[in-house]
Amino acid sequence: MGTHTLLRLNVTLTNSLPADVVAALIYLTTDADDEKDEFQEPPSVLPKHPFFECESWSAVLLGQSAYHPATLDTHPVFVQGDDGWSLQSCAAFTNYQSEIRLFCDFIGPYLKVPPGDEIGAIRYEGSEYDNVSLLYDGLRIVELERSEPVRYDGSGEVSYNGCGVPTLDAN
């Protein structure tokens, strides 16, 4: 059984993303209330990755939950810039099939961030603080359990034991 889980991401991806990856990320970040109609089908060709075999793969970047109110007024961002594709998301969903780990495994090879950078966090249902940091080790995204609580400081950043990482919401 899964738990309501909040996933926050703020990453830069390489400019040379394969077309199927771009199409999948556009689908994952386009809200039905925004640009796609409620019954839009996913891209006809999805990347070959176990993440896309999960039943709820499409909710990973768009999910909202009353358990995590920060998700109720946010929308994911996926835009191309001079330095690469920017992907930002604050979403909540029930993590039944390790969707977070599989999604991180899927985007890991395309990251364009220095090794050691924190690229996001995970918060479990019932927690007021982020429970897990997502770090890029140069090859993949790794999860680091936190031993100290992390609290929003109200400035639009999250304080990670003295280090701030921009986020989409500062509740």
Question: Domain-by-domain residue ranges, the chain?
Answer: 4-166
The maximal CA–CA distance of the chain, rounded, in angstroms, is 44
Strands annotated E in 21-73: none
pLDDT higher than 90, residue 112 = yes
Q: How confident is the model at residue 155 (pLDDT cuts 50, 70, 90)?
A: very low
In the prediction, which pLDDT does 147 show? Answer: 67
Q: How confident is the model at residue 128 (pLDDT cuts 50, 70, 90)?
A: confident
Share the mean pLDDT of the chain: 79
Bridge partner list, 79? 86
pLDDT higher than 50, residue 168 = no
Kindly provide the b/e burial profile for residues 30-58, where b requires at least 16 CB atoms within 10 angstroms of the residue's own CB. Answer: beeeeeeeeeeeebeebbebebbebeebb
In the prediction, which pLDDT does 169 show? Answer: 38
In the prediction, which pLDDT does 84 show? Answer: 94
- Structure letter (DSSP) for residue 59: G
H or E segment to which residue 143 belongs: strand 141-145
Measured CA to CA, the distance from residue 167 to residue 171 in angstroms comes to: 10
pLDDT in tens, 56-107: 898 888 877 666 666 556 778 899 999 999 999 888 888 888 899 999 999 9
Select the more confidently predicted residue: 157 or 27.
27
pLDDT higher than 70, residue 39 = no
In the prediction, which pLDDT does 143 show? Answer: 86
